[in-house]
Amino acid sequence: MCGIFAYLNHLTPKTRLEILDLLIKGLKRLEYRGYDSAGVGIDGASGTSEISLVKSTGKVKLLEDRIHALKDDLNFDGVHTVHVGIAHTRWATHGAPSDVNCHPHRSGDKNEF
């Protein structure tokens, strides 16, 4: 099983912390489904097309702790009017649970799909 929660915001100023908190709350609502790892993907810290991924094995709380440990890299206080984010839980059916194997994944180094 897996759970996916996404957020798209257009022309409403929000901090990156607000967006990340919203994504984490979405994952917490899906915890009953069972999973062994979780991750989030959000638009780049400077508002560029670069995607920031944060992933962790275990419960959503561990992912939340990892996100807060990266607050400077993720620019929590940055305010943007356009945000895109996805949060994903995963139950390992192919490959052992690991930070590398957590979802979401990139399609490549250039984030091309």
Q: How far apart are CA 23 and CA 16, in angstroms?
A: 11
Phi, psi dihedrals of residue 79, rounded to the nearest 5°: -105, 130
Instruction: Give the tokens for residue 35.
Output: 């999973």
Distance of alpha carbon 91 from the chain centroid: 16
2 in catalytic set: yes
How many CB atoms within 10 Å of residue 11? 6
Q: Tell me which DSSP letter residue 50 carries.
A: P
Amino acid at 95: G
- Of 1, 2, 31, 56, which one is the catalytic site residue? 2
Q: Tell me which DSSP letter residue 102 carries.
A: P
Could you give the residue numbers annotated as active site? 2
